[in-house]
Structure 1
Amino acid sequence: MAELRVVFMDAGQGDSTLVVYPDGSLMLIDCGSTKSKGVVAPEIVNVLNMYLPATPGGNTIKTLVLTHADVDHYNMIQGLVTAGINFQHVLYGGDVADYTVNNTANFLRSHPSVNAICGQDNYSDPPNTPNADLSAPTDGVYVWVLAANHPNTAYADKNTNSVVLLILYQELKVYLMGDATVATEKHIVQHYSLAAFSGVPIPEHPAGATLLDPIGPENRVALKVGHHGSARTSSSQAFIQKILPQILFISSDTRPFGGTGLPNSTTISNIDTWSPLSAFNAHDFVFFEDINRVFTQLNAREGVYTTLYQLHPHQEGGSYHYVIKDDGSVDLQRT
């Protein structure tokens, strides 16, 4: 049975997501960490080793996407290169000169197959044209770059530059947000509300609906929440009410930012209010309690999954393998 896997890997306070296409080829989106790096780096390698042997060509990741130049999204890439992992194609958000850690800027400059999107200001794929380099139409996988290099004219912020991806497979949507901000989300909503979507035949997509609108009555949508679950910068009401996510994945550790920990309970509460989260499985997850300013571990039946799922006796997390099968059914595995 063919399937698409989206693996949300535990990167501590960082980000790393692996997409496994039905033919076994891979797309790695970010690979960085600024807390617990020593713990999570071997685990990320373990996950990659689960899938690399089956890739066409062997030991090769077809596409590397670096969403933007924050260290916690890219500082482990050079270690993968040193370990002998090859990248056929590269796409990055922001200015290449900002990738200053671990010689990553030179790696990007010298790579022979850098996507033409790199360096383009305020890029978005056309609503009715999936990205040719990232999609696999013969396997029914369609991918859009919803945003890349969106400028923030109010203040300097690399996060607005984030590459944001939408994956569509078997009438399920997966949004991968990087650290995209409210400004990026606003651009996405405005850009993709201009025209009705007709680029890919989807039987249950309502006539006149846009790319971001629900598909059919179930509207199965997974969202990798922007900026590690920050309520201050990301996941705006207009964006959430447009895409209506049902399953949330958040990559975070217990590192505070300006006294605010991530993921933020306000973020989860807001999304729960603005979009009907569906039950999936009973699970543990950890979030930051705003009022008491402590991290809390819960066991819940909400569609919320954080890579930090255990606080005691050690701060531990895990990787979630979100599996979409060719019959449209969904499975969730944790390693």
Structure 2
Amino acid sequence: MTKEPFITIGIPVYNGGQCIKFTLESIFVALKNINDSESVEILVFDNKSTDDTKDIVMEFIDNGFNLRYSCNEKNVGYDGNIDNIVRSANGRYIWFLGCGEVVKSDSLARILEKIDINIEYTNIILDFDIFSELKGEIIDSRVLAFEEDVLIEGKNNFQFGKYAPAVSSNIINRRKWLDVIERPLIVVGWCHIERILNMISLDNNSKTLLLTYPYFTLYREIGGWWESPKSYQLLLLHIKVINSMISMGYRKEIVKKLKNKMSRFALVLAITQSKEYGLKADVEIFKELYTVLKYDYFLWVIIYPLLLFPNKFLFLPKIAIETLKFFKKVAGNVKNNIF
């Protein structure tokens, strides 16, 4: 590569032999739709896979595709692998792309068009859609569903979400990430959120760009983590990260609103889904939830009763949440049209 790339697509992978081919193929299709392919760097960072991941990536390299492959000497976990991508990348910005995701053919062209080179963004959030292997179709055509692209300015401005739980939805400023990379993490497995929140906390004029309409497809395969009776635990870790924002210097009222906005409906869905895949209410689960949410009335009024709710009626909370989400979206559209 003869010049410094503008964006690095960093792909963290562990035993991704069954899916990395599709991800790489989609990237190279997208590269054909931009004028300057050297503005994009492709970096695969292997977390010591034991399958044929390396062989598949090397086949792309042998066939003349311009990408870099690096493998950790030992498995350093998700968080360590993400940090290693940032340390090794050359781009001004880094798009974390999960192994198995498929980027839209015009995604890179749209990203490069919409990023203002004269603005230093802290991070960029991409909309996406979700494909279900079980149903064989797109089950959510616009996950983030912004009405239009939005630039959010200010450390404590959380009118819209300033990060995405799905790692592939995040593009980050490499220099700003390196500024916080040595900070200890609160939980395991959510470093892309913790690091972004730390980055934003350092700059009262932080800028986050939200880009609407899907840039990639998230592939929800059969047997994924969401089909585990313990899948709700990932959301509890997310809530712990939000709780830690006060120590990062965010205002308490912002943290409270964000926790309500980002976690309440999501936790109901997570508990419902976990129960569908075999979660049984016991003392340890009640203690686990209490540790994270003990001062939140939502735990006592909604979550604990839901744990004891008969499985045959679990469709009821799902219907209730989808109805609330629908009316919330309608209300938002009405507000936009009036004002």
- TM (norm. structure 1) is 0.32
Which entry has the higher C-alpha Rg, 1 or 2? 2
* Structure (1 or 2) with the greater strand fraction: 1
